[in-house]
Structure 1
Amino acid sequence: MSSLDDKINEHFAGYVVRKDLVKAVKGNAIVPTYVLEYLLGQYCATDDEASIQSGIETVKEILRKHYVHRSEAGLIQSTIKEKGRYKVIDQISVTLNEKTDCYEATFENLGIKKVAVDSGTVKAHPKLLVTGVWCIADVQYEFSEDSRTSPWMLETIKPIQIAKVDYEGYKEARNQFTKDEWIDLLMQSIGFNPDAFGRRSKLLQLMRLIPFVERNYNIIELGPKGTGKSHIYSEFSPHGQLISGGEVTIPKLFVNNSNGRIGLVGYWDVVAFDEFAGREKTANKALVDIMKNYMANKTFSRGVNPMGAEASFAFVGNTDHNVPFMLKNSDLFEALPPQFHDSAFIDRLHAYLPGWEVDVIRGEMFTQGYGFIVDYLAEILRHLRQEDFSNRPDQHFSISEKISTRDRDAVYKTMSGLLKVIFPAGGESSEDVEELLQLAMESRKRVKDQLFRIDATYPEVDFYYTGTDGEKRHVQTVEEQEFPQFYHLKPASDPKQQSTDGDNTDEAVIEPIPEANVQSIASTPAQPALEEGHHTFAENRKGVSFDNLFGPYTDGSSRIVVTDPYIRYFYQIRNMMEFVEMIIRRKQPEDQVSIHLVTGPHDGDIQKQRELLDSITEACTGSGVDFTWAFDTSDTAHARDIVTDTGWKIVLDRGLDIFQAPLRREGFNLGDRLQEHRMVKSFYVTYVRQS
């Protein structure tokens, strides 16, 4: 186990489980993760390997004997008849038979209906009346001569969920972990290996938890297929309900006027709409109108008395095009059905999670470490819905007063959710708050900027916040930094819009360092104007390469000195080789360039480091580039910069190590071949002209 796993077991003994065990016990059982982890938590919540193996066998036996496979429903029915009583694990729903004035249960997999249920059971578990709930139930069979009487009876029922959690103990244990350790624990709890994700990518994953901790929170995530958008809403919590976007009706979601029974929003913490996108889909206009009113006011009405509810909405769907295409030709909501591609609906979304930044889920991204039993964490998150952390950021920062009340509420709700997930016991620093505040404001800004494109009556808004120093800090989305030539196009209905039919956008001629940030290069200008400046790059953006960062500033140099103490591991030395390749591509064939690297020795494997650096020297033979390197053994080399004999100094906080490591271990990946297709880490670069 890792040191983090040891710490997790020390402070949360009995509430954690090794996440790879789910696959070991699931087999062909089509059952949610929280059901399996509930059982694993009963028998495998330990770090003792012998006990784990014994527990796995016990859980497998329970599933083998009591989980109902549809194909074996007849056999289980026979077993119940012969034994008179039998315990099953199944998805159960209950309806009221008004003709007999009795409650009747339906067992989804077992295939039996009209199972008699007493009123006390229904009062104790009202969700059974709304939709299917996974339960462990004792079913009894007692034949009656009366054909109107069903032989099936529900004797006992226990929804699969932890009955009680110690919230104060949870907060106390949280204080034993650093912020980074806690984020990694949460990542492992939702099944992912934290080492496979950058910091921003982890926070985006944790944003999916906000609907579980915030009442009436509305979030949308649109992105490519296979990124796990719906997983957390279908598998993670017994308090969330995932439905297909085209399968919901007004009575099912809100209220049935014929009997006055409230729908899904009255019983679930989160209602998630899967496969929500699709221009060809249609939606009931009355449903859309009621949804808009509920999302804005937390109430709904169908001509009777207004009713309130606390369910959060999550909308997830796939995009048809990549980000630059959407920004140039339409907007980031283009995939929504026409009835939902409506400014009033979109304005009620608190956050837009950029699904295109979430990598496609692959095997190596799953964890083998320990994480919370999801049902335990689900109960904690549900308890946190009662808290309100929205004012905690005000101790450190103030948000622009120019943004609307709706924008402000959206940012505060996202901030509150992130703080509940990461800092449930408080103790966050100003730097912690700023990191989360930027993400919260960006998530709302993405909504507002697209509204301006869709409906020109919406004003442009300057999203910024100020610290105790009074300095304004403006917020940009990653795609705004990456594609400014498309991001700020005016709405088509705006008479001031410049034509996009000409060369303004198609040529995409980009300066090497634009006003705000470097962007991807379509063609390099002949004689770019080089300027001094400081530029910050957000994590997860693409379109950045050594060519557009350094190329114009190294052109014409005959000697370049790279100082980076951490050219040690293979991937770091590969970065150095790619820098050399960039110089070779850009220089004139007849020119000779000397590149000298000053780095630190790799104490773990200095011999391998020497061999790889020497291989760069050998590879440059006959290329017109002379590569040399030397160790700085003074232990004072903390500087990371590039200095040219043409008078430029390029200062980098990360040196050449600006890219996130590609995860694909076999097969082909554009990120392996083209730097512009790699996601970057968060970093800055400063250009200084030396005398």
Structure 2
Amino acid sequence: MLDEKLKNCFDEMVVYKDLKKSNFFNSLSLPSFMRDWILKKFEDESGFFSVDEVTNFVHTYLPRREDWDSIKNRIVKENQHVKFLAKISIDINIQTGKVSFNLPDFGLSNKFTIIEDDVWQKYKDDLIHGETWGMVELGYLSPDNFDWSFEFDTNKSKAKDGKSGKISLLSFKTFCPYKIDLEYFKDVRKEFTVDEWLNVILGAVDYNSKGYKNEEEKLTMITRLLPFVEKRLNLIELAPKGTGKSYLFGRVSRYGWLSSGGVMSRAKMFYDQTRHTEGLIATNDFVTLDEVQTISFSDVDEMRAALKGYLESGIYTVGNHEGRSDAGMILCGNISKEIMDADGYSNMFTELPSVFHESALIERFHGFIKGWNIPRMNDDLKVCGWALNSEYFCSIMHELRNDSSYRAIVDELVEVPYAADTRDTEAVKRIATAYLKLLFPNVRSSKDISVREFKRYCLDRARKMRDTIIYQLGLLDIEYHGKNLPQFSIREEKNENN
């Protein structure tokens, strides 16, 4: 039985999720990674938890943004030490050597904060790896107690005597209460069949495998996870309404960002010259533009140029600032029944914002997800049973992004035909690598996977995803009309051994 195998193999990383029968967590508006962390904290061995205990914990330690003024009053005016769960990033001042922090979800910038040296030395190992979640304890350092001998920054927050108070970080406890053992995760994959592993992945991201009619529906669904495991993988998905795009990209992983509708600027996406702050691309594993038809851009030409440069090389330049990132870009939009029925053989990009009406930009997206192969969300698709902790699973996927051994295996296996287009080759290999990481993390060399499985689950699916992009380019631009995808295959020497 899969439940028992899952618990035996992953032990404490398994939680009981009941999203089909209970709307309790929906009412709390928690992302999956936060919900599973709380479940793990309060569930007993049978999966039971006290609703009152969980509710009290959430109200105490998970404040909303609108609670920030009340929190500031407690810290600054009432001189209390306040603890709560928050996303935090640090900033080290090169001139002064002082360390400060940001709480982006509450609008608290490093101008108004400080981490004193003794606190920094104690918690720096947990804080130094970029934006992270954890239990912060905050207090107030009044102007009289603050050492201004190293303070060179002049800003409006200072009092008339040239000094101002600071919110101080007193302690920090990392959100992740366990160490990620990536090698164990890779090894334990051997205990599951491909079908079982598909079900494990679906449960980890809150879906019930029994709600899907066939393997193709399952595979299309988990294709959305490819940018979670592979750096700078850029995808386009068009799907009917209600297939869970927003949920998966916006509520499951703490390493990504979902933007729905509204105005998007180059400053928000890449770099803000006025504030000297990095944008979404620099601080996330992936950025998803959801309901892309409703998104407008403050300067279309400016954004198109920035996107083309970044999608090609991972480098973006704004003014005198040059940045690098490994974030993938995903475009998600809804699709009409007429276009859906054509199965990708009509012009699907006509309703995209004008910024994407250029073949040179679209070509830089590696693959297309046919979201109409994913069933509309219903209660039977909601997980109900033992499943991998979403926070743990997403942390594993985040770590897999840095493992280049899978790409080396793909390079060894895939035969690239003569004069193949470089962008097509890179797209197919990058998608195939992501599938290999997601479905066969146990593979350490080309000998660890059969030709049949690699071709079926990695190479063929990568080719089809890229082929749709090429076909759509032909409808968008006469220059691409009639272009065919190179005939990638498995190297002969590997074929002979399998």
TM-score range (shorter-chain normalised) is 0.7 to 0.9
1:166-217 CA-partner distances (Å, limit 9, x unpaired): 1111111111111111111001111111111221111112111111211111
Whole-Å separation in 2 of the counterparts to 1:79 and 1:248: 35
Q: Is the 8 A contact 2:17 2:384 kept in 1?
A: yes
Q: CA deviation at 1:59?
A: 3.5
Alignment of 1:289-438 (within 5 A): 289-304=305-320, 306-320=322-336, 322-323=338-339, 331-388=347-404, 389-393=406-410, 398=415, 400-401=417-418, 403-426=420-443, 427-436=448-457, 437-438=459-460
State the match for 2:155 in structure 1. none
Q: In 1, are the aligned partners of 2:100 and 2:110 still within 8 Å (CA)?
A: no
How far 1:255 moved relative to its partner? 2.8
2:249 paired with 1:249: no
Higher-Rg structure is 1
Look up the match of 1:184.
199
Partners in 2 of 1:420 and 1:214 — Cα distance? Answer: 8
Which one-letter code corresponds to 1:451 in the other structure? L
CA drift at 1:71: 6.5
Deviation digits for residues 46-69 of structure 1 (CA, Å, limit 9, x no counterpart):
6x22xx324766433321322224
1:328 and 1:143 mapped to 2: Cα distance? 62
CA offset at residue 31 of structure 1? 2.7
Change (3 A) 1:242 1:467: closer
Report the 3-state secondary structure (helix = DSSP H, G, I; strand = E; otherwise coil) of the residue aligned with 1:322: helix
- Structure 1 353/162 Cα, relative in aligned 2: closer, same or farther at 3 Å? farther
**Which amino acid letter does the alignment assign opposite residue 432 of structure 2?**
M
**CA RMSD, Structure 1 to Structure 2 (Å):** 3.8
Distance in 2 of aligned mates of 1:259 and 1:112: 11
Secondary structure of 2:28 counterpart: coil
Report deviation, 1:469.
8.2
Match of 2:80 among 66, 77, 84: 84
Unmatched segments (≥5 aa) in structure 2: 145-157, 494-498
C-alpha distance in structure 2 between counterparts of 1:227 and 1:364, whole Å? 13
1:61 aligns with 2:82: no
User: Does the 8 A contact of 1:97 with 1:104 survive in 2?
Assistant: no
Q: What is the Cα deviation at residue 331 of structure 1?
A: 0.7
5 Å-filtered alignment, 1:123-522, equals 124-125=127-128, 127=130, 134-140=133-139, 149-150=164-165, 152-158=167-173, 160-161=175-176, 164-197=179-212, 198-244=214-260, 246-258=262-274, 261-278=277-294, 283-304=299-320, 306-320=322-336, 322-323=338-339, 331-388=347-404, 389-393=406-410, 398=415, 400-401=417-418, 403-426=420-443, 427-436=448-457, 437-463=459-485, 464-466=487-489
1:361, 1:294 → 2: CA distance? 34
- Verify the 8 A CA contact 2:264 2:298 in the aligned structure 1: no
Cα distance change, pair 242–97 in 1 and its aligned pair in 2 (3 A):
farther
User: How far is the alpha carbon of 1:43 from its aligned partner?
Assistant: 3.9
Q: Give the letter aligned to residue 35 of structure 1.
A: M
**Whole-angstrom distance in 1 between the partners of 2:38 and 2:100:** 28
Q: Aligned in 2, Cα 1:363/1:289: closer, same or farther, shift over 3 Å?
A: same
Q: State the identity %.
A: 25
Q: Label 1:236 to 1:329 Cα distance change in 2 as closer, same or farther (>3 A).
A: closer
Greater per-residue helix proportion: 2
In structure 2, relative to structure 1, the CA distance for the partners of 1:319 and 1:283 (3 Å cut) is farther
Which segment drifts farther, 293-302 or 317-326? Answer: 317-326
Question: 2-side partners of 1:162 and 1:333: how far apart?
Answer: 44
Q: Take 1:411 and 1:329, find their aligned partners in 2: how far apart are those partners?
A: 20
**Corresponding residue SS for 1:277:** strand
SS at match of 1:17: strand
> Does structure 2 retain, via aligned residues, the 8 Å contact 1:272–1:315?
yes
Q: SS of the residue aligned with 2:244?
A: coil
Name the TM-score, length of structure 2 as normaliser.
0.80
Match of 1:35 in 2: 34
Question: 1-side partners of 2:305 and 2:28: how far apart?
Answer: 39
Q: TM-score, normalised by structure 1?
A: 0.59
Conserved? CA contact 1:69–1:110, under 8 Å:
no
* Matched residue SS, 1:274: strand
Distance 1:381 1:216 in 2: 14
**What is the alpha-carbon distance in structure 2 between the residues aligned to residue 222 and residue 365 of structure 1?**
20
Structure 1 residue 24 displacement after superposition: 6.2
2:17 maps to 19
Identify if the C-alpha distance between structure 1 residues 465 and 375 changes in structure 2 by more than 3 Å, giving closer, same or farther.
same
Shift of 1:312: 1.2
Deviation at 1:329, TM superposition (A): 10
- CA deviation vs aligned residue, 1:369-402 (integer Å, no higher than 9, x gap): 2222122112211221122323535666635546
- Is 2:4 the counterpart of 1:9? no
Gaps of 5+ in 1: 471-691
